[in-house]
Structure 1
Amino acid sequence: MVKTAQSVWENCLLFIKDNIQDQAYKTWFEPIRAVELTDNALYIQVPSKFFYEWLEEHYVKLLKVALTKELGNSAKLLYKIKMENTYGNKQPFTEQLPSAHRAPVKPQEVDFPLQNKNPELKNPFVIPGIRNLKIDSQLNANYSFDNFFEGDSNRLARSAGLAVANKPGGTSFNPLLIFGGVGLGKTHLVHAIGIDIKDKYPDKTVLYISAEIFTQQYIDSVKRNTRNDFIHFYQLIDVLIIDDVQFLSGKTGTQDVFFHIFNHLHQNGKQVILTSDKAPVDMQDIEQRLLSRFKWGLSAELHQPDYETRISILNNILYRDGVEMPQEIIEYVARNIKSNVRELEGAIISLIAQSSFNHREVTLDLAKQVVEKFVKNIKREISIDYIQKVVSDYFQLDIDTLKSKTRKRHVVQARQLAMFFAKKFTKASLANIGSQIGDRDHATVLHACKTVDNLVTTDKQFRKFVDDINKKLSV
């Protein structure tokens, strides 16, 4: 049988597909077209130079093995880099002008492996609002160590933060990962560390950024074919602070680029500071190689503030705003608002506002009214983990069984209910819900929600399940 470019490439794809994940295959191999076979050289067409560079960096060994199996040891692979003049084809990370303004693109041919003849990067990646290397640290001057009050709930994290501020990159706390629930002061603390470092080491480049913005910048750099500039920019930072690192969950491309940035910074004695809503061991859809690096330094947890710390926080707010308040009222608020610092601040500010706007004296009765209304209006955050626990307890299952692949009817129903309530009570996407509840896809979650809706109208016993669990989650 005569070999053609198409037949050789199809056989290569069969081998490649068996050796990588489905998503990677769809992203990096499905868009490729075989265009020519000359002697032992196969020409393939890729949508962009970035696409080609990614294949060379990540899949060159796999490509060599696949092609050698088909054409022997003398096999060669050459690329044609060409943007098609249509919008219909799959062309990841390629921005196009309208056809009237688009210059014709001449295909480029390159032999593999590519040797980078000019490793110098032309320009560092530029964050909007940050010009060249005069980097605005993006730090909030209101968040300092002076108004981050120490207590048993945060002593370890605060002490570690001070140690890092005194010697960034020079302690064993690298990375320093601060984790804990909503409103406990994670963001405040990392800003305080950054501000202290800037005061002590003015020449050091400090940058605070949220994981969400970091991810968006990475996506933009891929679209613009400036990924190397993006990496180079972040490798220039002396102290990199990334807030809410759990946002990287499931974002394999961003995790990969952060892994390389992290390694460079760590190996060169730079400091990395992270925050997360959970400990590394509890993070889901984060690559193991990245999680292992999170564990290299210190993971310090912030707990709910104790009574004495809550008193200190309230006194500081009153002092800052120039307000005097009887001690019994301060103590009442501190005793009744326990969950986190943010809610504590909200309660005392509401009390000050009620007093000021209504010209009422701050009394214990007024404090009780305000705190009671405030507590009622606090919408308790319900997580997917919490929903799974409530559903598992209700059906007397353990969570591992709930997430398992078993098709036993009572377990399937429990799993479907967990998905249904996760969609109802959280803002998580269907894909995120599925990944957390037994690593299912979004279609499974959608089917579960429809099944629950149908059973509620046709099955009295099932409707009781829904009502009971709904009450538990709505308390």
Structure 2
Amino acid sequence: MKPDHLEVWKNCLTVIKDNIPAASFTTWFEPIVPLRLNGEVLTIQIPSLFFYEHIEEQYIDILGKTLRRELGPKAKLEYSVVMDKSASDVQPTTVKFPAGNRPDVRNRQGQMTAPASRPEFHNPFVVTGIKKQNIDSQLNPEYTFDNYVEGACNRLARSASIAVAQKPGKTAFNPLFIYGNSGLGKTHLAQAIGLEVQKNMPEKTVLYVNANIFQTQYTEAIRHQRINDFLHFYQMIDVLIIDDVQEFAGKQKTQNTFFHIFNHLHQTGKQLILTSDKAPVELQDMEDRLLSRFKWGLAADLQLPDFETRVSIIKQKLYKDGVSMPDDVVNYVAGNVIHNVRELEGALISLLAQSTLNRKDISYESARETVDKLVRKTQREISVDYIQKVVCDYYGIDIDEMQSKTRKREIVQARQVAMYFCKTMTTSSLSAIGSKIGNKDHATVLHACKTINNLQETDRDFKNQLLDIEYQIKE
């Protein structure tokens, strides 16, 4: 009995599966549907022209061999390319497999087509054709790990990023979700991963894209009936970096499309890096199934840099530019520009520009004038370190005692008071507060805050103590 199209294709897949990587088989062969067998011509349905082009580039030899084995030396393969319902009338392309040569491409009438008429994949990140090596990663070469200053505010995120860069797709940090306020270095850190992967694993395809650009591309793909091309382009990326994913909020169709891309990449062992201005749990107007996937890996936050980190950032920038600056000026800038790294770098650029234009060295007075024009006068920075110092001074204990593991009542209470004020007067997370005060976990900090709240409600003297400490912190 003559085999039908299902049996022929099943036999082909058995051979192909044993000869290519499992991930490649899942991506490029499982979506194919055998349609019919007409004599020696097997017709298969593929999702897009991009799919056809990739199979032609990568798997034509093994397809030809397996098909000739099943149907004989005159076997032919016909692709039925159906991108979506509105394009269901696309004419399929017939491919003949002559022995030892690349297949001739023929239309339905058997006429040879010119090489220039082969389908092209249109995507703004592709320079020419669709080959992976032609994809522009969109990375900024300045955003490296070497010029990303580490501090307590970003240590977890930076360490996790380095781990991901060394073994993309093979750590528990997939996806790596980096979040924090604007200007704290999310984009820098995410792109540093991509640059490191490119340097050490040039065979991997890395792509950085902002969520707004992704949304624009998706809209264009819908308008030009190329949604399957869009999907398959993103599904071929090895390390995908999506910046500002909070921009997907309220865009249900875009979220649905990204959900499928996310699933495919994750299931095939590819790496995803996402950035946002909020933690996954705080994102609004997002599908629950997408939010749950954001939580699969590691969510690492970036805090406001402390004074020491800001000083290090300034000194690194000065060293890179070959400029010197007095320590008192560095300290003044670091102590007054506190909101984010971008603002800090902007103030530094202004100072250097003023110095160049006026042909004068940067003095403390000139720095104060310039900085005061750029940023609003603020109160003393209220940081975890500063609160600890005020509390220790108030209770007459050393900072080392607060950091120790002692269970003395007066030390424990001082530690709890410091945690309480850090929680109410800074933007630091519970984990960050605990790590700086006695190396405690977030549960200990939460318990301390509850204890202090209860005490001030029942003990008037203790409440007065808290008011005194709060006044000194804000003074």
Give the TM-score band, short-chain normalised: 0.5 to 0.7
Q: What is the aligned partner in structure 1 of residue 360 from structure 2?
A: 360
CA distance in 1, matches of 2:149, 2:321: 17
Q: What is the aligned partner in structure 1 of residue 181 from structure 2?
A: 181
Q: Give a deviation string over 1:443-473, Cα, whole Å, max 9, x none.
A: xxxxxxxxxxxxxxxxxxxxxxxxxxxxxxx
* Partner SS, residue 203 of structure 2: coil
Deviation at 1:200, TM superposition (A): 1.1
Letter in 2 for 1:141: P
**Cα 1:236–1:125, aligned 2, differ >3 Å: closer, same or farther?**
farther
Q: What is the aligned partner in structure 1 of residue 197 from structure 2?
A: 197
Q: Is the contact made by 2:242 and 2:273 (CA closer than 8 Å) also made in structure 1?
A: yes
Deviation at 1:377, TM superposition (A): 10
Q: What is the aligned partner in structure 1 of residue 307 from structure 2?
A: 307
CA distance in 2, matches of 1:365, 1:322: 22
Q: What is the aligned partner in structure 2 of residue 8 from structure 1?
A: none
**Cα 1:377–1:204, aligned 2, differ >3 Å: closer, same or farther?**
farther
Larger CA Rg, structure 1 vs 2: 2
Deviation at 1:300, TM superposition (A): 0.4
**Cα 1:150–1:175, aligned 2, differ >3 Å: closer, same or farther?**
same
CA distance in 2, matches of 1:343, 1:241: 24
Q: What is the aligned partner in structure 1 of residue 219 from structure 2?
A: 219
CA distance in 1, matches of 2:296, 2:317: 37
Q: What is the aligned partner in structure 1 of residue 273 from structure 2?
A: 273
Q: What is the aligned partner in structure 1 of residue 127 from structure 2?
A: 130
Q: Is the contact made by 2:161 and 2:193 (CA closer than 8 Å) also made in structure 1?
A: yes
1:286 and 2:283 matched: no
CA distance in 1, matches of 2:355, 2:149: 26
CA distance in 2, matches of 1:331, 1:304: 17
**Cα 1:124–1:268, aligned 2, differ >3 Å: closer, same or farther?**
farther
Q: Is the contact made by 1:125 and 1:231 (CA closer than 8 Å) also made in structure 2?
A: no
Q: What is the aligned partner in structure 1 of residue 393 from structure 2?
A: none
Q: Give a deviation string over 1:219-265, Cα, whole Å, max 9, x none.
A: 10011111011101100000000000111111111100000000000
Q: What is the aligned partner in structure 2 of residue 412 from structure 1?
A: none
1:373-392 → structure 2 map (5 Å cutoff): 373-376=373-376
Q: Is the contact made by 1:94 and 1:223 (CA closer than 8 Å) also made in structure 2?
A: no
CA distance in 2, matches of 1:377, 1:209: 36
Gaps of 5+ in 1: 1-48, 51-92, 96-104, 107-120, 379-475
Deviation at 1:376, TM superposition (A): 3.5
Question: TM-score w.r.t. structure 2 length?
Answer: 0.54
CA distance in 1, matches of 2:233, 2:145: 29
Equivalent pairs, count = 268
Q: What is the aligned partner in structure 1 of residue 426 from structure 2?
A: none
Deviation at 1:125, TM superposition (A): 5.2
CA distance in 1, matches of 2:215, 2:335: 40
Deviation at 1:130, TM superposition (A): 3.2
**Cα 1:168–1:194, aligned 2, differ >3 Å: closer, same or farther?**
same
* Partner SS, residue 376 of structure 2: helix
1:347 and 2:350 matched: no
Letter in 2 for 1:290: L
Q: What is the aligned partner in structure 2 of residue 316 from structure 1?
A: 316
* Partner SS, residue 172 of structure 2: coil
- Percent pairwise identity: 56
CA distance in 1, matches of 2:377, 2:185: 21
Q: What is the aligned partner in structure 2 of residue 264 from structure 1?
A: 264
Letter in 2 for 1:299: A
1:208 and 2:208 matched: yes
Letter in 2 for 1:176: L
**Cα 1:376–1:209, aligned 2, differ >3 Å: closer, same or farther?**
same
Q: Is the contact made by 2:204 and 2:238 (CA closer than 8 Å) also made in structure 1?
A: yes
Q: What is the aligned partner in structure 2 of residue 154 from structure 1?
A: 154
CA distance in 2, matches of 1:233, 1:130: 13
Q: Is the contact made by 1:125 and 1:232 (CA closer than 8 Å) also made in structure 2?
A: no
Question: TM-score w.r.t. structure 1 length?
Answer: 0.54
Letter in 1 for 2:124: I
CA distance in 2, matches of 1:291, 1:122: 37
CA distance in 2, matches of 1:374, 1:356: 18
CA distance in 2, matches of 1:329, 1:247: 39
Deviation at 1:128, TM superposition (A): 5.0
CA distance in 2, matches of 1:176, 1:136: 22
Q: Give a deviation string over 1:356-377, Cα, whole Å, max 9, x none.
A: 1012331111111011001039
Q: Is the contact made by 2:125 and 2:136 (CA closer than 8 Å) also made in structure 1?
A: no
RMSD: 2.8
CA distance in 2, matches of 1:348, 1:127: 35
Q: Is the contact made by 2:178 and 2:300 (CA closer than 8 Å) also made in structure 1?
A: yes
CA distance in 2, matches of 1:143, 1:167: 19
Letter in 1 for 2:222: V
Q: What is the aligned partner in structure 2 of residue 237 from structure 1?
A: 237
CA distance in 2, matches of 1:336, 1:319: 21
* Partner SS, residue 207 of structure 2: strand
Letter in 2 for 1:243: D
Q: Give a deviation string over 1:49-106, Cα, whole Å, max 9, x none.
A: 99xxxxxxxxxxxxxxxxxxxxxxxxxxxxxxxxxxxxxxxxxx989xxxxxxxxx99
**Cα 1:130–1:144, aligned 2, differ >3 Å: closer, same or farther?**
same
CA distance in 2, matches of 1:214, 1:377: 39
Gaps of 5+ in 2: 1-46, 49-84, 90-117, 379-475
